A and B are shown apart, each in its own frame.
Chain A
Amino acid sequence: MDTSARTRRMRFDERIGRSFRTVILQPTSLCNLDCDYCYLPGRKKRYEILPTVVKAAAASIAEQNDPEPVGVVWHGGEPTALPIATFRQRVLAFEDLRIAGLIEHSIQTNATLLTEQWCALFRTYRFQVGVSVDGPEAANVNRVDRAGRPAFEKIMRCIGVLRDHEIPFSVICVVSPETVGDPGGLMEFFAGLGCTQVGFNIEELEGVNDSRDVVDTGLAEAFWAGVIAAHHRFPDLRVREIDQLAAYLNKARTGRKEEWTGVKHDPIPTIAWNGDLVLMSPELLGIDAPEHRGFVVGNVLKESLSAILRRAHDVPYIAELLDGLDGCESTCAFWDFCRGAHAGNRYFEHGSFAATETAHCRNTRQALVTAFAAATAVIQPKEK
């Protein structure tokens, strides 16, 4: 092995796992909605995941043979746009692994197509369910169907189906420039919705969503201050970002920071309907980037995930990402908590994985920490 190859390998192994904790599957490229801020190209095309692809994914998980269960995340498109009988057939490819405790299923859905039958499937195969909804009706103006009609009524009706069947669910809420000013209203809505947890994704420019207004960082900081304040009113509503920060600070304040900082990045293999694989950022799937061969690093029909990961340090965009992670570590005061900007954000905002700070860094990581410090009087709140 030449020196540069050895260096590439070592740099990768310092930052990124060769094994995976999560596998993202694209059961279908199709989505029945057409949300204004969606980053997914090709969401109007109907490609369905091939039976051979799910078998290959299952075989790769079996090959890794990790005692900790791997999360199999059914994402999309809209996963439930796949006919339920087909979906069940694809899920069955993992059934031996699930029964053996080697995988756990998750699904992220817009909920608009959920039925009693889907709830039965979720219960049978023990799915963790995540629903995408942006708050009360007025906050969902960007969530529309192909005809531009609001999806909110359908979303709420189908969340009702989940609740009727006592299926626990978490929520992803995209916070847009239109809703960033009402954190209390969002928290009140989600506390009443019956979800176990909410994660707030402040809207970013990603994929084909490349021209909408971005959220101002000052407003993002005020948003997190409002979420933290409302947390006292709704203590039973878990907020993903607050939980993450609290978990980090709890370790850092009790001499156990290494438990956080010593953990590597999940390579997050994301498998397209045809077996194509991207690493490090599911948002890269399907992106037209000929200079990076569309970010496709292999195909599970030809190679196992472990085999692809063994050579991942030779993938140019991942080598570039390692430069970016080095840059984050050497320049950012939030590094210990954050562990580096997301790969997709770097590329979509800066055109390079070697770039460092992104809007997500500013509006979610940094603004959250700063708002928390102000809320607890560790620093003076900024003048409004």
Chain B
Amino acid sequence: MPVLELLETTTATTVEEFLAEVTAAIPDVAPEAHDNRPTWDNWSNKK
């Protein structure tokens, strides 16, 4: 199974805990648009 799919489906507590820690600090909103640029901040996903 591809690694991304593994991460999407695993029940490993290590993943749960890490994601809980990170997502507690960022708003759970859908991005307004994917910001297809590598060289500066992803401003539109900051909200």
Chain A residues with a Cβ under 8 A of chain B: 17, 21-22, 39, 68, 71, 73, 75, 106, 108, 128, 130, 170, 172, 197, 199, 201, 204, 206, 228, 231, 235, 238, 240, 242-244, 246-247, 249-253, 257, 259-260, 262-266, 268, 280-283, 333-334, 336-337, 339-340, 342-345, 360, 364, 369-370, 372-373, 375-379
User: Which of B19, B22, B41 is within 8 Å of A172, CB to CB?
Assistant: B41
Number of interface residues of B (CB under 8 A): 37
Kindly list chain B residues whose C-beta atoms are within 8 Å of the C-beta of A343. 36
Kindly list chain B residues whose C-beta atoms are within 8 Å of the C-beta of A244. 42, 45
Q: How far is the CA of A161 from the CA of B42 in the complex (A)?
A: 24
Q: How far is the CA of A201 from the CA of B39 in the complex (A)?
A: 6
Find out whether the CB atom of A344 lies under 8 angstroms from the CB atom of B38: yes
User: Which of B8, B21, B31, B39 is within 8 Å of A253, CB to CB?
Assistant: B8
Find out whether the CB atom of B15 lies under 8 angstroms from the CB atom of A264: no
Chain B residues with a Cβ under 8 A of chain A: 2-10, 12, 14-15, 18-19, 21-23, 25-26, 28, 30-46
List the 5 closest A-B pairs by CB distance, nearest first: A266-B33, A333-B2, A246-B22, A376-B14, A259-B30
Find out whether the CB atom of A339 lies under 8 angstroms from the CB atom of B14: no
Find out whether the CB atom of A376 lies under 8 angstroms from the CB atom of B18: yes
Task: Name 22 interchain pairs, CB-CB below 8 A, sorted by A.
Answer: A71-B44, A73-B40, A108-B41, A128-B46, A228-B18, A235-B25, A242-B22, A247-B31, A247-B45, A260-B31, A263-B30, A263-B34, A266-B34, A283-B39, A333-B4, A334-B4, A342-B37, A343-B36, A344-B37, A372-B18, A376-B7, A376-B15
Kindly list chain B residues whose C-beta atoms are within 8 Å of the C-beta of A376. 7, 10, 12, 14-15, 18
Q: How far is the CA of A21 from the CA of B46 in the complex (A)?
A: 12
Find out whether the CB atom of B12 lies under 8 angstroms from the CB atom of A378: yes
Find out whether the CB atom of B19 lies under 8 angstroms from the CB atom of A22: no
